[in-house]
Structure 1
């Protein structure tokens, strides 16, 4: 499955998600933590669509991207077999961080929204490090 880019900007992508039984709780709705899993996958696929392989970043450059902060709003419930879309938009690029706004949609209805700060870390020191220039250029470019 590949993300569908809705704009001419590499900063925004849409990733489809189907709700499986394993995603739901005893009440038959998506378990709250799974919205974060859906968003994690969508961010990974957003980076992959830009040609960024996170395994290579770690093995070749010694950097990883990790979640530093999440602010989430649960607006409506998703249910078994729902077809959802996770819209991910990079809205701020810091020296060592990216900020994403993410929405989980069922059709035109927003079910969940989050602001997620991703930090770039040096894996040897486990400290924040500057985003490499080639990545910054990629994130800032208009494709």
Structure 2
């Protein structure tokens, strides 16, 4: 998947373990959400921010809503590439487009969009995304910015 501005989206690689599968040896559908969560967290880390540091500064990111489509199954021992591309950057939220692909054949297994809100850790009320983080996402993520819908 390529971003509109030609920047390759961030990708996190992971492996399917036995614990990720159901009785049929197929990745249980909810586990794709876990893989995507890890990719978003690693995207933050890649930009120089950690969830634990942000939390200690009173900031949390929480999933507000999601839309996911499943296309093909992943199986035990598959290596997966999970992208995390910011496609919309607002004052207090980000929208990610994510895909899960099998590395061996580049088959799209699952894709989705996630609206992630920035909230205060003490009361879970919306708060502005810190300017340094906004700048990092805008420069590295190729995201468009908006102020609507906040």
User: With structure 1 as the length reference, what TM-score do the two structures score?
Assistant: 0.88
Residue 101 of structure 2 corresponds to residue 102 of structure 1: no
- Aligned partners of 2:82 and 2:140: how far apart in 1? 21
Counterpart in the other structure of 1:3: none
Deviations 1:18-38 (A, max 9, x none): 111110001110000000000
Residue 11 of structure 2 corresponds to residue 14 of structure 1: yes
Counterpart in the other structure of 2:127: 129
Counterpart in the other structure of 1:89: 85
**More moved, 82-91 vs 29-38:** 82-91
Q: Where in structure 2 are there 5+ consecutive unaligned residues?
A: 142-150
The equivalences for 1:1-80 within 5 A come to: 9=7, 12-60=9-57, 62-80=58-76
Deviation at 1:135, TM superposition (A): 1.1
- Aligned partners of 1:68 and 1:122: how far apart in 2? 14
Calculate the aligned-residue CA RMSD, in Å: 1.7
Q: SS of 2:19's equivalent? A: helix
- Aligned partners of 2:73 and 2:92: how far apart in 1? 34
Picking from 108, 120, 126, the partner of 2:118 is: 120
Number of residue equivalences? 135
Q: Where in structure 1 are there 5+ consecutive unaligned residues?
A: 1-6
Q: SS of 1:141's equivalent? A: helix
